């Protein structure tokens, strides 16, 4: 874990690295509770989001652009919740099985697809929420796709051979198996992960920092827009009388 701190923050002094390391330790210690919370929250949110999506996709609701954006936001959130459930499944099978879980190729490919889809819907939900006051639509997919492609092509399936099964599995000592896991391609690991670090840096700016800065601004604009529309509606109602 400390090696990850040294890898992604090579120019930071030891004091800042220690703080970052303490933060990672905190999340690592509470990982089980955080995973449980994500699962329960996802199970609770999925039916609500489905009902929300059904209402927003009714014929009478589809004529308003803001409802279309809300429907797209609900769809991306539903996918995100299912990704959280799959992530919990992977977490529990790794942590609580008596024997080591030997991942087959299908499971590893599903994990890779999960990583790409989950990262995409997180970006999509973030930008749709931030851009809601500006009546944006799903064209953000055009902006986000390069980041998904860049992230996906850094992975490759690595075959890991192990001739010594865990004793708790009660397997023959001569038993051999082939396990698969996700690894990084050679070009991604070159120059001490220099290209990968640049990708992480740029990705964080456009998918985390900029939306975080725009969120308060978009909230204020949305409140003003709602007030303006309400005032306009009241004026129309008054003129009809």
Q: Rounded CA gap, 165 and 101, in Å?
A: 11
For the ranges 17-21, 81-85, 113-117, 181-185, which has the lowest average pLDDT?
A: 181-185
Render pLDDT for 90-110 as a digit per residue (tens, 0 to 9). Answer: 777 666 554 555 555 666 667
Q: What is the pLDDT of residue 64?
A: 66
Q: Where is average pLDDT lowest: 23-27, 57-61, 187-191?
A: 187-191
Q: For the whole prediction, is pTM greater than 0.85?
A: no
């Amino acid at each position: 874990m400390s090696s990850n701190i040294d890898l992604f923050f090579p120019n930071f002094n030891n004091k800042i690295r220690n703080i970052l390391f303490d933060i990672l330790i905190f999340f690592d210690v509470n990982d089980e509770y955080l995973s449980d919370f994500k699962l329960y929250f996802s199970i609770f949110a999925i039916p609500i989001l489905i009902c929300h999506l059904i209402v927003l996709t009714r014929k009478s609701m589809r004529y308003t652009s803001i409802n279309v954006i809300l429907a797209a936001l609900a769809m991306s959130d539903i996918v995100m919740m299912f990704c959280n459930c799959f992530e919990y499944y992977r977490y529990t099978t790794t942590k609580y099985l008596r024997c080591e879980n030997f991942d087959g190729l299908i499971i590893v490919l599903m994990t890779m697809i999960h990583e790409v889809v989950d990262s995409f819907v997180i970006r999509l939900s973030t930008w749709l929420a931030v851009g809601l006051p500006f009546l944006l639509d799903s064209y953000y997919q055009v902006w986000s796709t390069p980041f998904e492609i860049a992230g996906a092509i850094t992975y490759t399936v690595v075959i890991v051979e192990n001739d010594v099964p865990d004793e708790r599995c009660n397997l023959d000592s001569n038993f051999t198996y082939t396990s698969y896991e996700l690894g990084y391609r050679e070009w991604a690991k070159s120059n001490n992960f220099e290209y990968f670090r640049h990708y992480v840096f740029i990705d964080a700016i456009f998918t985390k920092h900029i939306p975080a800065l725009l969120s308060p601004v978009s909230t204020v604009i949305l409140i003003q827009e709602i007030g303006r529309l309400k005032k306009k509606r009241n004026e129309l109602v008054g003129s009809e009388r």
